[in-house]
A = this chain, B = another copy of it.
Amino acid sequence: MSTALNPQATLAAPMDSERFAAICRALSHPARVRIVDHLRTMQQCICGQIVEVLPLAQSTVSQHLKILKASGLVKGTIEGPRTCYCLDGGVLAQFKDMVKRL
């Protein structure tokens, strides 16, 4: 089997259903989708800005951010008293790639 000749069937690692499902799970809540969307258009932002935009308590938003961070889609860097969140382009690209294969 010439693996090189049939990119379609080969490299394409038999999609890790666990990982894919985990990312989908992170995106399985409207609030989290909106957060990702917001992060995409804003480039980056802090928790408080998201709280302003969503009809949810600060603690709830923080929870959602934690879930997104755990999935790898979002990463947060501490900046003084606040945390700056942004999308992880690499993980997002991975996800898009997996979806393409669906």
A28 interface residue per 8 A CB criterion:
yes
Q: Which residues of B contact A34 (CB under 8 A)?
A: 17
A86 interface residue per 8 A CB criterion:
no
In this complex, the interface size class of chain A, counting residues with CB under 8 Å from chain B, is 20 to 34
Q: Which residues of B contact A20 (CB under 8 A)?
A: 27, 33
Task: Give this chain's copy count.
Answer: 2
Choice from B25, B31, B40, B102 contacting A28 with Cβ under 8 Å? B25
A82 interface residue per 8 A CB criterion:
no
- Interface residue ranges of A32-51 to B (CB < 8 Å): 32-34, 36-37, 40
A1 interface residue per 8 A CB criterion:
no
Assess whether B37 is in contact with A15, with CB atoms less than 8 Å apart. Answer: yes
